[in-house]
Amino acid sequence: MIGLQELLTSIEIGLILGVVAIGIFVTFKTINFADMTCDGSFVLGAVVTAVTIKNGVNPYIAILTSMVAGGVAGCVTGILNIKCKITDLLSGIIVAYMLYSVNLMIMGNSPNLTFLDNQTVFSDSRIYAAIVVVFLVAAVTWVMFSNTGLKLRAVGYNKQFATTSGINVNVITTLGLAISNAMIAAGGSLFSQYQGFCDISEGFGMLVTGLASIVIGTKTLAFRSEPLLIASCVVGSVLYRIFVNIALHSDALGIKTQNLNLITGLIAIAVMTMKGGVKTKC
């Protein structure tokens, strides 16, 4: 079984990655867009934060900067889908693929950056980081309750109906992608600050983790109101990290650290085969 410290670590990482799960929820469940940009925009948020903090920028400003960068990445995905007529799945894959090179360039062609000696939101107290997470969750929830949120859900539910209702589907879709990837980048920013370093490959598997977190959260809390489902993503992320940690610390199973991806995948398969699973609304 896991100890108290491992449990606290799982909760902390779960809260951080809950922000990523919210971003994935906006695209997959709200606007019905199978966006694969996630792995790239997560690392983008992490590397922008690492570079800005190493250059003496306030860590909170670094988070905002990362969100802007992630939002731009989401807009590029939207442009490829809308203007270039590339499918949603492929447009996200292309952007994520290109972001690998962009992220390397931002890092000065180094595969990792360390900023352990610099000030981060975790330097003084974990409470400040928790407040940031709560603020991000509250911000997205507020958007979902607003007129913009209604438009986002209308586009995801039925694009033709949204168009006849006077909604600019292209603009709202791009806005949803921008919000989603801004949140994912914010998660990457917080994660890199939590670790004190960033790595070019740390975004690998974030989409799977996020989708599994969404399923666990929505099944556990069973909220029906979409804005309230935002909070359930964070709960699902925390539970998911705890499940993974329990599996890794189970002597009976004999699982080692190098089996992390296998365990993560098996847990994801288990939760995604539940009734309802993670599906876009089409």
Residue 8 lies in a domain: yes
Domain assignment of residue 9, given as a range: 4-272
CA 242 vs CA 2, 9, 11, 187, 216: distances in Å: 9, 9, 7, 18, 12
CA 125 vs CA 7, 106, 194, 225: distances in Å: 18, 29, 11, 33
Distance (Å, whole) CA 105 – CA 82? 27
Distance (Å, whole) CA 100 – CA 250? 35
pLDDT for res 96: 96
Distance (Å, whole) CA 61 – CA 25? 25
CATH number at residue 101: 1.10.3470
pLDDT for res 229: 83
Q: Which residues contact 23 (CB under 8 A, 6 or more apart)?
A: 38, 179, 180, 181, 182, 183, 184, 186, 187, 210
Residue 277 lies in a domain: no
pLDDT for res 189: 96
Residue 229 lies in a domain: yes
pLDDT for res 238: 92
Does the pTM surpass 0.75? The reply is: yes
Distance (Å, whole) CA 262 – CA 223? 30
Query: Using the 8-state DSSP alphabet, how is residue 200 labeled?
Result: T
pLDDT for res 228: 77
188, 16 contact by CB (below 8 A): no
pLDDT for res 258: 64
Residue 279 lies in a domain: no
SS3 225: coil
pLDDT for res 188: 96
Residue 280 lies in a domain: no
Residue 23 lies in a domain: yes
pLDDT truncated to tens, each residue of the chain (282 aa)? 567 788 888 899 999 999 999 999 999 999 999 999 999 999 999 999 999 999 999 999 999 999 999 999 999 999 999 999 999 999 999 999 999 999 999 999 999 999 988 999 998 888 988 999 999 999 999 998 899 999 999 999 999 999 999 999 999 999 999 999 999 999 999 999 999 999 998 888 899 889 888 888 887 776 666 667 888 899 999 998 888 887 776 654 555 666 667 777 777 777 667 655 555 553
Residue 281 lies in a domain: no
Domains of the chain: total: 1
Distance (Å, whole) CA 270 – CA 263? 10
Residue 98 lies in a domain: yes
Q: Tell me which amino acid residue 282 is.
A: C
pLDDT for res 282: 37
